[in-house]
């Protein structure tokens, strides 16, 4: 994967609902495919993964400009968008970002989004079939 540092500043907590309602209600991914997000998915993401309340733009960035897109290694109807993002230039380590998309319907549907420090889990997601990566 690329070593280029991607910087996406954190959003304010009070911006979370607005960003979900504008940027993520319907978004084009890196392949030009439409992905939609409903209120139930938004609630799941911000309640279950509270760190995402300030990282909503990270979801958009990962859908539009992932390091790669892979088929989920265990669930064939899920795609995993993988990225490593930094909140600022001073953020040396960054965070591994995963966005999970349900491909059973058209348009596709945002299923989940979260960050992780678990390199083994991130590596496991990289075991799925490679579906897309940027052209070098």
Burial class (CB in 10 A: 0-12, 13-18, 19+), 48: exposed
Phi, psi dihedrals of residue 16, rounded to the nearest 5°: -55, -50
| Chain segment 7-62, per-residue pLDDT in tens | 999 999 999 999 999 999 999 999 999 999 999 999 999 999 999 999 999 999 99
The pTM is what? Answer: 0.94
| Chain segment 73-113, per-residue pLDDT in tens | 999 999 999 999 999 999 999 999 999 999 999 999 999 99
């Amino acid at each position: 994967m690329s070593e280029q540092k991607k910087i996406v500043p954190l959003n304010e907590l009070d911006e979370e609902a607005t960003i979900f309602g504008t940027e993520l209600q319907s978004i084009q991914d890196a392949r030009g495919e439409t992905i939609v997000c409903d209120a139930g998915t938004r609630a799941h993401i911000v309640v279950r993964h509270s760190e995402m309340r300030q990282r909503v733009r990270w979801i958009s960035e990962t859908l539009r400009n992932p390091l790669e897109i892979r088929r989920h290694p265990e669930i064939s109807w899920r795609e995993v968008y993988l990225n490593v993002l930094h909140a600022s230039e001073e953020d040396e380590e960054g965070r591994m970002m995963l966005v999970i998309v349900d491909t059973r319907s058209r348009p596709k549907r945002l299923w989940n989004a979260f960050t992780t420090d678990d390199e083994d889990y991130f590596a496991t997601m990289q075991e799925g079939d490679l579906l897309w990566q940027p052209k070098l």
